[in-house]
Amino acid sequence: SGQVLFHSLGHWRCAPSLHDLIFLDAVCLPASQLLQGRPVRFWHDQAFVKPAGDGAVVQWHQDYSYWDRTGPMAHLTVHIALDDQTLENGALHWVPGSHRWTRDGGPLPQAAAVARAKMAKAKASGSGDDLAGASFTTDMDALYNDVLNESEKAQWSSRPPETVLLKAGHAAFHHALCVHGSWGNRSSAPRRALVLNYFAHGTRSCINGSLMKGLPPVKNGEILGGKFHPVVFDTRRFDMSTLPVAS
């Protein structure tokens, strides 16, 4: 498509400032409040950079569709803007109410997985008839077109995607099933963001093996912890009974 998106993980292990960010009380206390007042562990971090002029889209998705190798679901995302976000530079958008959209008790299928299945079918048939919509990198609407049912599409139409146009240094917290995405960057400056992902203490692995490249293997059912998933907020430090928490 000619569009570019820089996406990387693991910065907290490379720079002291990014390491310290994941422990920041201004981030981790509200994370605990949103996770029913439970202790919080770090899952992983991400950086998203959309270059000026040709920064690519990030297609609609639910984060937990990439994380269901861990459970039960008690995860959230913190999106930190490093530049003022605008409609022109690809501000993050969310679909209201989409955190209730599931399939068979789990998250919606990844649009990418649907696209890969389409591509495999097209290759097997030797025909190009099934290639339409098979892109899983720049097709913003793949989730809407290929995954959502009619009821979900109706909800989308009645409550279309919203944004808060984050300012640089501001953060937004969202549910692990909240459908979100961002359009491309058409502006003359880069659009940069850091993303911190957390889960509640007690979250377990649902597979045998490494949860991410570079991490040691874990066993199915093992509670996640250790140096790669440290406690970033210990609720014993605060009287959580005095604070509002999500139910």
Region 127-142: mean pLDDT is 57
Banded model confidence at residue 130, pLDDT cuts 50, 70, 90: very low
Task: Decide if pLDDT at 80 tops 90.
Answer: yes
**pLDDT digit string, tens, across residues 135-165:** 445 689 999 999 999 999 999 999 999 999 9
Region 118-136: mean pLDDT is 51
- Which residue reads 């999500």 in tokens? 246
Top-confidence residue, 122 or 178:
178
Top-confidence residue, 135 or 66:
66
Task: Decide if pLDDT at 224 tops 90.
Answer: yes
